[in-house]
Every structure is written in C-alpha cells, then in structure tokens.
Amino acid sequence: MVTAVVIPTLGGRRLAHCLDAVSLLDPPPRRTVVVCSGRPTVPVVPTGLELVTSTGRLGFAAAVNAGIGRIGGGCDSIALLNDDAVPAPGWLGRLEAVLDGDPSVGAVQGTVTDSVGAVVDGRGITLDPFGLPVQVDRGASPAPEPPGPRPLLAVSGTASLLRVAALEDAALAGGAVFDPVFGSYHEDLDLGLRLRRCGWRSVWTPGAWASHIGSATGRRLGWRHPWWVLSNRWRALAGNLSGSALAASLPRLLRGEMRAVRTLTRTNPRAPIVAIAALAAVPALIAAGLRRPSRGERLRSLPEG
C-alpha cells in the first residue's frame, strides 16, 4: 500500500517531535506533506518533506484539504497526524495492514494516549445519547488493549489512516475531503458520517499506538474554540441526517447543547456568551446542513455508540 502523510500545523515547537517520529516509521510513507498556516515566516522542515504554506490561518479542515490536493494521485491511502501527535514506529504499518486485509474499511485508527502514555486519549469517535461527539475509552488505562478490530462511527483526525478510494466516494462537491466551513473540530465526525453513508466502514485496531499532547491549541483560541465546538456539531449532524431524523432527535440534541456549554465553561469563560450566539444560529446551521449536497442516503436515525 502506498501511503502519504499529511500534517497540518501552525508551526508550533511540537512539530519537530512529530516529524522526528514520522522519520522513524517502518514502513515509511511514500510522501510527507506539512501544511503550515498562520505564520509570517516559513518553518524549516527536513529534506524530503514537502511544505505547503499560507500566511492566513486555514483551520484543520482546509489545511488537510490543501495537503491532499498537493499529493494528487498515486497513493492508496492518506495518513493524518496532528502536529502534536507522536506515532510509534509500527503505527503506520499496522494501520496499512487493516486496509490491505479488509476492502470494506475506509478509515482506521489505533489507540491514542496522552503525551506520557498514562491514559487513553481516544480510540475513535462516537456519539453519546445526547448527540455529543466523544472519544471512545477516553481516560481508560491504555493496556491491555481490547481485542480488535472494533467498529467506529468515525476515526479521529489526530492520528488515522484513510483509504483514498473511500475519500473519493465521500467527497463533497468540488472534491473537498473535509468541509472547509468547519474550520476546526468535528470535521472528522462529519467525514465519518459521510463515509458511512457511502457504505464504508471505520474501525479501531490494536497495536497502532500514538501519543498526543491534546487540545493545546484549543485553549488559546478564545471565543473561536467554543463556537467551532458547538456550531460544528450541528453542521455535522444536519449535513448527514435526514430531516425527520434530525427533528426526532432535536430534544436530545438541545439537552446535549446545555451539557456541552457547561463543560466548555469550565475552561473558557467566554463559552456562555458564545453559546447564545451558537443557539441563535442553529436554525441557519440546520438549514445549510440539510441543503448541502453529498453522496449516499442520509441517515434515518441518530447514530449512537
């Protein structure tokens, strides 16, 4: 399997640790593309890596799209890594083996831990009963790993591998893999739902380890962080559920909104004010999501883990 790696970054100091880990991957990727946005100066990357730059901050979704666009054809799969993620040497080979062994799998990830490997950061994405995206097994002990593979609603953009054929099936109008209006947060949930609608499976597999600093950028985003977290959930669900499924789930989703606001307020005092704006925007977000053209039959119920 021929794989390229895409790493979106704002050029922070943690990027060097990620690139060091990529250089040790066995087997190595065919290409590695670093997409750096929001910096007036161009960062230095090791020889053999490709660099895409933008002086404006792109957000995760647009940055990954730019990286995938740079790759073009010639690859069977594309790995995504946050710039503060550090994959183990065997990470990529284990994920490639899953795609090689099961042609129905469009996306796969392994266990992502915190930076020291003490607890699980996530083993994929699911929805709780209130339609809130949550990381599977977050806070659990990393070992022993569960038997696998296990089905997922979506893989996390933190550290995952995507089949190019699946991305082509689930692409939006114009060929975008991630919807650029998401900016950052929940764009991976949206992609997972679109893959499911097109008949592709997302799975977690054991033995593919990566560590992650986690949310270091989010805490510096001020009002943008709660806005993206709250509004993008509605974008993802309205973009993939049928109108009847969305209407039937609305009471639960609104209760989930209140839960999300309480959680965000613990670390960001701007969250309650932003939440008022997000709630006022919900009708427009739902209308835009229902109008968004994409392939596959819309989901007839709210998926749950």
Question: In this structure, what token pair is assigned to residue 259?
Answer: 């839960």
What is the distance in angstroms between the CA of the first residue and the CA of the last residue of the chain? Answer: 30
For 247-255, the CB contacts below 8 A with 24+ separation are 248/301, 248/302, 249/131, 249/301, 249/302, 252/129, 252/130, 252/131, 252/302, 253/130, 253/131, 253/302, 255/130
CA–CA gap between residue 215 and residue 298 (Å, rounded): 31
Confidence (pLDDT) at 305: 58
- Mean pLDDT over the full length of the chain: 93
For 264, the enclosing helix (H) or strand (E) is helix 243-265
Confidence (pLDDT) at 268: 86
Average of per-residue pLDDT across 21-37: 95
Average of per-residue pLDDT across 30-47: 83
Task: List phi, psi (to 5°) of 42.
Answer: -85, 125
Confidence (pLDDT) at 148: 80
Q: Is the dihedral of CA 259, 302, 175, 19 positive or negative?
A: positive
**Per-residue model confidence as pLDDT tens digits over 73-109:** 899 999 999 999 999 999 999 999 999 999 999 999 9
CA separation, residue 289 to residues 197, 199, 232, 235, 303 (Å): 15, 20, 10, 6, 17
Average of per-residue pLDDT across 138-147: 94
Confidence (pLDDT) at 221: 55
Specify the pTM.
0.94
Confidence (pLDDT) at 216: 46
Average of per-residue pLDDT across 120-135: 96
Q: Are 165 and 156 in contact (CB under 8 A)?
A: no
Domains and CATH numbers, the chain: 3-218 (3.90.550.60), 221-291 (no CATH)
Task: List phi, psi (to 5°) of 188.
Answer: -75, -35
Three-state DSSP at 104 gives coil
Confidence (pLDDT) at 224: 85
CA–CA gap between residue 211 and residue 4 (Å, rounded): 20
Question: In this structure, what token pair is assigned to residue 149?
Answer: 């593979």
**Per-residue model confidence as pLDDT tens digits over 206-225:** 999 999 986 544 455 578 88
Lowest average pLDDT, out of 13-17, 136-140, 281-285, goes to 13-17
E strand residue ranges, 50-142: 50-54, 77-81, 85-87, 105-109, 112-113, 120-122, 125-127, 133-135
